[in-house]
Structure 1
Amino acid sequence: MMTSQAIPAAPGTPATQEMSRSDAVRLFAGFAGLGAAAVNLAVASSLIAAAGPALPARAAGAAAALLWGTALLGWTVTGLGRNRFPLPRTSTVLLPAAAAVHAGAIVLGAGSGMAGLGISHLAALLLTLMILAATSWLGRRPPRLPGGPGQGGPGQTATVQTATGQSRLGAGPVLAAAFAGALLVAAITTPGLAASTAGQFAVPHGVHTGGHHSP
């Protein structure tokens, strides 16, 4: 009696070029991580500009924001490069702590006369919460096996379930999800950067430092 066996997809076929939903969420977390790192560095620049001998707390806050922004940048780049974010247990502690610090800074700094700093902290808070949501979802997903997805029926165009229960997406949905995630992150990051001291001193495009518009 002859038995039929599924033939694994050869490298280069559409099945091997697909991505899972976890990959799309990881990419979204990476966008949010890069945005949060940039905004934290912008917060550090604002605090450094406002710090002085009479305000040592701002200098300490600037150092903390600088260290956290640099660490978050390295964590995000490493996670995107390895397709897995490092130090998952540590990040589950530090990310909520960072969100709490941003929320506290918004409340306590409301009457400090630095309205722009509050906007930057709000952007950093939203981006941090986005990272938390994405990484929490990724932590609940089962690890992906090295094998390819199961065989679908003729003309199947929907997502395909893998042996681990993860559905795989084609290039179109992944690109659409990445584009939407990039727009959302940019919409939050841009005001946070513009409200910082570095953003306020940035020269607009097409304008020279003397204030004359370019032809």
Structure 2
Amino acid sequence: MQQSTQESNAVAVVRLVAGFAGFGAASVSLAISSSLFTAAAAGRSLLLVPAIAAALWGTALLGWTVAALRRGGFPWPRLSSALLLTAAALHLLSLLSGGGTDLAGLNISHLAALLLTLAVVAAQAWLQRQAWLKRQAWLQQDSVRGAAGGASGRTGAGRLLLGAFAGAVAVAAITTPGLAASTAGQFAVPHGSHLDGGHSDGGGAGHHGP
């Protein structure tokens, strides 16, 4: 019973972390799209197509992740795996090819999106294997049930929270630089700048002035 509870908690943790990674990859993809749209508006019209593609992919990935968390499993596993691997390959290609001096910061965004996408792929593959192993074990299981379910459940809940927290921190550590490197991140208002209404004691020096 304790082993079964631990396996169930491990599945829950991996599913949550995959959801966090999915949200992160979707957010970074949308940030990449905003950067490409900005560059396209500045005269690089060839970037309009990848900008639209990144926006559509980020939106679709966001909806797919929400659906996965709501139903407790990833929908369309084969199709989603193929699309995720394709997106990872495109992020890698963009990372290797570079984007010119004005889009050099997107290398960090593409790297973050690549790592987050691969994390979702790995988690999805692991969950599918666990589901297959569970079906195999179901065919051979007996009806013996342990009496220590309450204690293992409490221990499992603690491990579930700890694992989910660690996963959220790891995903945030990857997602934040990816968002900051995009055009939207570069033009974001610095933290604390709104507290003084935009006024500073040093005239134009601002918060970072001497």
Same fold (TM over 0.5): yes
TM-score of the superposed pair, with normalisation by structure 2:
0.80
- Alpha-carbon distance, 1:138 to partner: 0.7
The within-5 A match list for 1:146-157 is 151-152=145-146
Choose the corresponding residue for 2:176, options 156, 165, 190.
190
Q: For 1:199 and 1:211, how far apart are their aligned partners in 2? A: 22
Question: How many residues end up aligned between the 2 structures?
Answer: 191
| CA deviation map 1:20-43 (0-9, x unaligned) | 321211111000000000000000
SS in 1 for 2:126: helix
Following superposition of structure 1 onto structure 2, how do residues 37-116 of structure 1 map, counting pairs within 5 Å? 37-52=26-41, 54-109=43-98, 111-116=100-105
In the alignment, the residues of structure 1 paired with residue 162 and residue 96 of structure 2 have an alpha-carbon distance, to the nearest angstrom, of 36
**Separation of aligned partners in 2, 1:128 and 1:82:** 20
Residue in 2 that maps onto 1:179: 165
Q: What does residue 201 of structure 1 align with?
A: 187
Change (3 A) 1:150 1:50: farther
Instruction: Quote the offset at 1:52 in angstroms.
Output: 3.8
**Shift of the alpha carbon at 1:108?**
1.0
Q: Given that residues 20 and 169 in structure 1 are in contact (C-alpha distance below 8 angstroms), is that contact kept between their aligned partners in structure 2? A: no
Is contact 1:21–1:169 with CA below 8 Å preserved after alignment? no
Query: Relative to structure 1, is the Cα distance of residues 98 and 211 closer, same or farther in structure 2, using a 3 angstrom cutoff?
Result: farther
Indicate how the Cα distance of structure 1 residues 154 and 169 shifts in structure 2: closer, same or farther if over 3 A, else same: closer
Measured after TM superposition, the shift of residue 174 of structure 1 is 0.3
Contact 1:19 1:174 in 2 (8 A): no
Q: What is the RMSD of the two structures over their aligned residues, measured on CA atoms?
A: 3.2
Q: Contact 2:9–2:159 (CA<8 Å) still a contact in 1?
A: no
TM-score (norm 1): 0.78
Contact 2:28-2:179 within 8 A present in 1 as well: yes
Once the two structures are TM-superposed, the CA of residue 100 in structure 1 deviates from its matched residue by: 0.3
Q: State the identity %.
A: 56
Higher helix share: 2
Question: Aligned equivalents of 2:188 and 2:162: distance in 1?
Answer: 31
Contact 2:95 2:107 in 1 (8 A): yes
Between the aligned partners of 2:123 and 2:58, the Cα distance in structure 1 is: 19
